[in-house]
Amino acid sequence: MRRSLCALLIVLSGCGTHAYHLVQRGDSLYSVGWSYGYDYKDVARWNGLRPPYELTPGQRLRFMPSAGVKVSVPKQPVIVEPEPRATQVPSPSRAPTAQKNTGIVTWRWPADGKIVGRFDAGDPLKKGINIGGELGQPVRAAAAGKVVYSGSGLIGYGKLIILKHNEALLSAYAHNKDLLVTEGETVEVGKQIAAMGSSGANVVMLHFEIRRDGVPVDPIEYLPGRQ
């Protein structure tokens, strides 16, 4: 793992009124925001960053607005733990599109397999769904987008890919065996982006998340129903 646990913890100074992240090699604005549960747009605004949001190792990223603006309480990093296998719960039929800012996003399932872990908004360890499968099985882009992170620097996610679909929606694909795309690459819906694995987990599975404006949402609400 490229970074220590300390590098992912929020550092407080003084009387706890300032919080920041010390940028490590391999960090991106998107991966930092994902780690702490912030919308990348907020982190950029708080730090005066503009696209393409280039970061420098050793740089401090503040997790608070400028003076005079109400401070948001920093969230703890999301650490994903594998769940025991269970029988699949049939997915209800959902509209496979979502619209925000830049138009419609069309979704598809990122991998074949049984759902072995469900989303729970009240549980910090269940911010997505887990899909069981076979080692090396294709992991595909659930929607068209741009690769904004491809690496293994986020604790609890193993080899991870994050895709940006529009200004509001990001998706993540964790615990892969191999990563087949690089940062900055544009992918179409259904393109294979990784091979399923167990990096950061003790079973072979894909951990899949969708976040809207930095907030985890239930992927089942976005994915099309399964027959």
pTM for the full model?
A: 0.78
Q: Identify the CA nearest to 1 among candidates 175, 159, 181.
A: 159
Cα–Cα distance, 143 to 165 (Å, whole number): 7
Tokens of 168: 């509001």
Cα–Cα distance, 37 to 30 (Å, whole number): 10
Q: Check residue 6 and give its pLDDT.
A: 39
pLDDT at 3 over 70: no
Cα–Cα distance, 171 to 181 (Å, whole number): 14
Cα 129–chain centre separation: 12
Region 168-174: what's the mean pLDDT?
98
Cα–Cα distance, 109 to 173 (Å, whole number): 12
Q: What is the pLDDT of residues 191-214, one digit of tens each?
A: 999 999 999 899 999 999 999 999
